[in-house]
């Protein structure tokens, strides 16, 4: 199993539930209620760390109240807004828990969920255990609409680098990418020390961490739903991405491709991911340039990669053809 430097010692009987908070006064109490309701196995303790990331609403006061009332809840503040990756790193700096799991402030967990993941990890000697998430909506957050991976085979599925990366991009149905998983992670499987997340990523930070852990050789499994309700709402970060975000993802993919020791199937998966991100980077560069009426910016869309350039050219031709077709029908 991958291991961290010997100087870092974690408590393998402790699990940290990490909640970044940003302007979510409407949901943070519900999230904290389900976090403190988690039932740890005998001999195991759960702690909840909430990190406010510069909220402008009353969410931090709600979280502080929980920290006063529950001994296992800790409230922390970021000096300035840094995004969910930086907030999670801040929480992990404050705990010696040997395991952690991310939990979004607008989501819900059933009381047995984290314990089930932990028992699965302990029984199978896994470094990372994920469950197929239950997708709901803000209008009915406790009503399951579907599973994150609707076609997942029943039972445990080995979560390999190849499977994870291939099912994390270019999905036909939105919100079926495995990058949205909220797994339980053994901190000893993260080679970069007490701050596992890449803090400069505000989009795709979970994907980067999971892909890195898997590529480092962690033993991982994806099991059936254990009770994480992923509440989809409008305006979430995945709906606000642009050229800069896809640029970071493409550069991330290129970095993965430089890793030594990747198996051919792993390399092919990362290559496909990188090509997709390069196309998105180029497409969004073109869109933003056209909106800004910036011809120089539009030219930049053709400098990212050959396939990405062809993708943008095809999009522009389709748009031009649509306009010409529309004119023809109007006369």
Per-residue pLDDT tens for 235-255? 454 446 899 999 999 999 999
Q: Which residues fall within 8 angstroms of residue 160, CB to CB, at 6 or more apart? A: 214, 220
| Same structural domain, 277 and 150 | no
| Same structural domain, 147 and 111 | yes
Q: What is the mean pLDDT of residues 288-303?
A: 96
- Taking CA 94 as the corner, what is the angle to CA 91 and CA 100, rounded to the nearest 5 degrees? 55
Share the mean pLDDT of the chain: 92
| Same structural domain, 224 and 134 | yes
Query: Which residue in 199, 195, 196 sits closest to 211, CA to CA?
Result: 196
| Six-digit token string for 198 | 């890449």
Sign of the C-alpha dihedral, residues 144, 26, 233, 246? Answer: negative
| Same structural domain, 72 and 102 | yes
| Same structural domain, 143 and 276 | no
Q: What is the mean pLDDT of residues 94-113?
A: 97
Rounded to whole angstroms, how far apart are CA atoms 258 and 281? Answer: 20
pLDDT of residue 233: 77
| Six-digit token string for 190 | 């993260």
The number of angstroms, rounded, from the C-alpha of 259 to the middle of its chain's C-alpha atoms is 21
Task: Decide: residue 261, CB within 10 A, 0-12 exposed, 13-18 middle, 19+ buried.
Answer: exposed
Half-sphere exposure of 307 (CA within 13 A, CB side): 9
| 3-state secondary structure (DSSP) of residue 173 | coil
| Same structural domain, 70 and 180 | yes
| Same structural domain, 18 and 76 | yes
Higher pLDDT, 188 or 4: 188
Model confidence band, residue 323 (pLDDT cutoffs 50, 70, 90):
low
Q: Which of 189, 205, 239 is the last residue of a domain?
A: 239
Size (the chain), residues: 331
Is 331 a member of any domain? no
pLDDT of residue 329: 43
| 3-state secondary structure (DSSP) of residue 100 | strand
Is 6 a member of any domain? no
Give the chain's domain count. 2
pLDDT of residue 63: 98
| Same structural domain, 136 and 268 | no
Query: Which residue in 94, 122, 116 sits closest to 19, CA to CA?
Result: 94
Model confidence band, residue 327 (pLDDT cutoffs 50, 70, 90):
low
| Same structural domain, 124 and 218 | yes
Rounded to whole angstroms, how far apart are CA atoms 282 and 301? Answer: 5
Q: How many CB atoms lie within 10 A of CB 248?
A: 21
| Same structural domain, 136 and 271 | no
Model confidence band, residue 171 (pLDDT cutoffs 50, 70, 90):
confident
Rounded to whole angstroms, how far apart are CA atoms 141 and 186? Answer: 29
Percent of the chain residues topping a pLDDT of 70? 93
| 3-state secondary structure (DSSP) of residue 176 | coil
Q: What is the mean pLDDT of residues 297-308?
A: 96
Half-sphere exposure of 10 (CA within 13 A, CB side): 25
| Same structural domain, 162 and 266 | no
Angle between helices 306-330 and 264-291 (to 10 degrees): 40
| 3-state secondary structure (DSSP) of residue 177 | coil
| Same structural domain, 125 and 250 | no
> Which range in 10-19, 241-250, 312-321 is most confidently predicted, on average pLDDT?
10-19
Q: What is the mean pLDDT of residues 264-286?
A: 97
Q: Which of 196, 213, 239 is the last residue of a domain?
A: 239
Range of the domain at 159: 11-239
Q: What is the pLDDT of residues 108-153, one digit of tens each?
A: 999 999 999 999 999 999 999 999 999 999 999 999 999 999 999 9
Q: Which residues fall within 8 angstroms of residue 131, CB to CB, at 6 or more apart? A: 113, 116, 117, 181, 183, 222, 223, 224, 225, 226, 227, 228
Q: What is the pLDDT of residues 178-207, one digit of tens each?
A: 999 999 999 999 987 778 999 888 889 999
């Amino acid at each position: 199993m991958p291991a961290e430097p010997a100087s870092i010692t974690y408590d393998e009987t402790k699990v940290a539930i990490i909640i970044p908070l940003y302007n979510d006064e409407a949901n943070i109490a519900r999230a904290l209620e389900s976090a403190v309701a988690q039932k740890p196995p005998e001999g195991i303790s759960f702690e909840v760390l909430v990190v406010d990331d510069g909220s402008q609403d009353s969410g931090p006061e709600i979280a502080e109240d929980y920290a006063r009332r529950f001994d296992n809840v800790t409230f922390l503040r970021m000096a300035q807004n840094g995004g969910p990756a930086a907030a999670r790193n801040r929480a992990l700096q404050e705990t010696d828990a040997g395991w952690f799991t991310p939990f979004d402030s607008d989501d819900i967990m059933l009381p047995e969920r984290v314990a089930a993941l932990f028992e699965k990890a302990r029984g199978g000697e896994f470094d990372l255990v994920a469950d197929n998430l239950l997708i709901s909506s803000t209008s009915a957050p406790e009503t399951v609409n579907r599973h994150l991976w609707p076609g997942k085979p029943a039972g445990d599925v080995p979560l390999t680098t190849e499977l994870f990366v291939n099912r994390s991009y270019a999905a036909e149905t939105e919100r079926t990418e495995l990058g949205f998983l909220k797994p339980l992670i053994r901190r000893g499987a993260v080679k970069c020390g007490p701050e596992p997340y890449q803090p400069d990523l505000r989009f795709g930070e979970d994907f980067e961490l999971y892909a890195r852990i898997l590529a480092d050789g962690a033993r991982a499994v994806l099991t059936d739903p254990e009770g994480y309700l992923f509440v989809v709402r409008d305006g979430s970060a995945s709906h606000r991405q642009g050229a800069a975000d896809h640029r970071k993802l493409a550069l991330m993919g290129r970095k993965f491709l430089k890793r030594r020791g990747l198996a051919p199937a792993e390399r092919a998966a990362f290559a496909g991911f990188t090509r997709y991100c390069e196309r998105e980077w180029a497409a969004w560069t073109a869109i933003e340039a056209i909106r800004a009426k910036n011809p120089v910016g539009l030219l930049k869309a053709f400098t990212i990669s050959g396939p990405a350039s062809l993708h943008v050219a095809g999009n522009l031709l389709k748009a031009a053809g649509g306009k010409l077709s529309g004119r023809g029908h109007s006369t």
